[in-house]
Amino acid sequence: MAYSDQLQSKIDHLQKRSQPLALGSIEFSSPLILAPMASICNYPFRLLLEELGAGGTVSELISAHAIHHGNARTMKMLRLHEKERNVGIQLFGENADMMAQAAKVAQDFGPKFIDVNMGCPVRKVVTKGGGSALLKDPLALGPYLKKIKAAISIPLTIKIRMGWDEEGVNADEIIHVANEEGIEFVAIHGRTRAQQYTGKADWNYLESLKAESPLPLIGNGDLHNPYSVSQRLATTGLDALMIARGALRNPFIFLESMQDNPKEQIFSSVDYLEIIQRLFELICAAFDQDRVRLIQLRKFIVWFAAGFPNASKFRAAAFQNQDLDSLMISTKQYFLSIENRGKSIDFEGVFMNSGHG
């Protein structure tokens, strides 16, 4: 077993409270799904979060163009862990033929579904016509999705935004095109492309979309803590919820949202240390070079520490560590030194206000 009996029993206790569900033909172990995040949702992090109650996960966005060219680094991004159960691979690209070919390649790595990124606001992606630029022309979307779907035998899904900008809010239209093309579900981030990460996700709009949607809908945006997740879960008409940034500062968010009192902090700093050790093992197995392992692991450790006492001092020290062993030693000292003092995060403050969806 990966975890101590004490931690595993807390995990099992909370995990039992979530219900499996099917979105179309895709089964998830809970309605709370880890959202795709570039350079973050590689298989070590995805597997860790599945072990910590995520009902499913989606990979970081992967370029169809780079798959077409057989780019070695990109091909490694397609890898899944044999223990991952409910994982999708997300692809991006404006060219339907290249997307179809990439989807076929990705399918051979064994995911449950292929997801198309239609929410990325980044200029480099949208100027070529990919990411959220795909929202601009619903008429062209049908043939694009049809080609990708025809290339694979597993389900195809899409992740979108509300529209290009305030005047161009058209998610309802996009969902209808998706339905006609046999898409399995739609995940939607409640902002427009123009908003990037500013303002608040518009959950009223998301809930109203669901009332008319012929397809299962997953809502996403600003569910940063267990309390807001559990509140939304209790009231939403949407079929499932996706969580991105909230899982970086609290990887136990999927489990803690299942409590009767989701404001109570169940997992201690010692539990955080244990999951960091688990992530260390997974990262070491996934990446050969110590430099890459260090860069990968350090960012997670620093995010996980957020909100614990003296976290900023620890963060500064962690960035001084130039090798894995010394990083792990100072991490252990830090998390053990906190004892039972809890975590307190400023959820109103800016935390990662850019990304690819």
Ligand X SMILES: Cc1cc2nc3c(=O)[nH]c(=O)nc-3n(C[C@H](O)[C@H](O)[C@H](O)COP(=O)(O)O)c2cc1C
Tell me the three state secondary structure of residue 113.
Answer: strand
Type of residue numbered 338: I
Query: What's the closest the beta carbon of residue 23 comes to ligand X, in angstroms?
Result: 16
- With a CB cutoff of 8 Å and minimum separation 6, the contacts of 235 are none
Calpha distance 142→160 (Å, rounded): 15
Residue 276 to residue 338: CA distance in whole angstroms? 15
355 CB-near residues (< 8 Å, 6+ apart): 37, 38, 197, 244
The 8-class DSSP code of residue 308 comes to: S
Residues 324-353 that bind ligand X (CB under 6 A): 352
Compare residues 1 and 350 and give the one whose CB is closer to ligand X: 350
Binding-residue pattern over the window 119 to 148 for ligand X, x denoting contact by CB under 6 A: x-----------------------------
Per-residue burial over 1-36, b if 16 or more Cβ lie within 10 Å, else e, is ebbeeebeebbeebbeebeebebeebebbbbbbbbb
- The residue among 10 and 46 lying less far from ligand X, judged by its C-beta, is 46
How far is 246 from 258, CA to CA, in rounded Å? 15
Judged by CB under 6 A, which of 26, 32, 33, 61 binds ligand X? 61
Q: Could you tell me the smallest distance in angstroms from the CB atom of residue 72 to ligand X?
A: 20
We find the least distance from the C-beta atom of residue 189 to ligand X, in angstroms, to be 4
Bridge partners of 241, per DSSP, are 32, 219
- Distance from C-alpha of 293 to C-alpha of 323, rounded to nearest angstrom: 9
Minimal distance, residue 198 CB to ligand X, in Å: 12
Q: Which is nearer to ligand X, 57 or 268 (CB)?
A: 57
CA distance 206 to 27: 22
Report residue 177 as tokens: 């095109």
Nearer to ligand X, 147 or 249 (CB): 249
Q: Give the nearer residue to ligand X in terms of CB position, either 3 or 43.
A: 43
Q: Are 293 and 284 in contact (CB under 8 A)?
A: yes
- Look at residue 280 and give its three-state secondary structure: helix
Contacting residue, 46, 159, 232, 249, with ligand X by CB under 6 A: 159
Question: Greatest CA separation found in the chain?
Answer: 58
The interface region with ligand X, picked from 104-112, 147-155, 202-210, 217-225 by CB under 6 A, is: 217-225
How many positions of this chain bind ligand X (CB under 6 A)? 24
Binding pattern for the stretch 245-264 against ligand X, x by CB under 6 A and - elsewhere: xx------------------
* Residue with smallest beta-carbon separation from ligand X: 357
Contact 75, 48 (CB under 8 A): no
Site string for ligand X, 222-241 (x = CB under 6 A): xx------------------
Question: In angstroms, what is the minimal distance from the CB of 325 to ligand X?
Answer: 28
Structure tokens at 217: 């809908």
Among 220, 250, 296, 331, binds ligand X (CB under 6 A): 220
Number of CB atoms found within 10 A of residue 201's CB: 20
Return the residues of window 18-47 that contact ligand X according to CB under 6 A. Answer: 35-38, 40
Q: Which stretch binds ligand X (CB under 6 A): 142-150, 204-212, 214-222, 280-288?
A: 214-222
Question: Looking at 42, 101, 117, 132, which residue binds ligand X (CB under 6 A)?
Answer: 117
Q: Does residue 356 belong to the site contacting ligand X (CB under 6 A)?
A: yes
Residues that bind ligand X (CB under 6 A): 35-38, 40, 60-61, 90, 117, 119, 159, 189, 220-223, 243-246, 352, 355-357
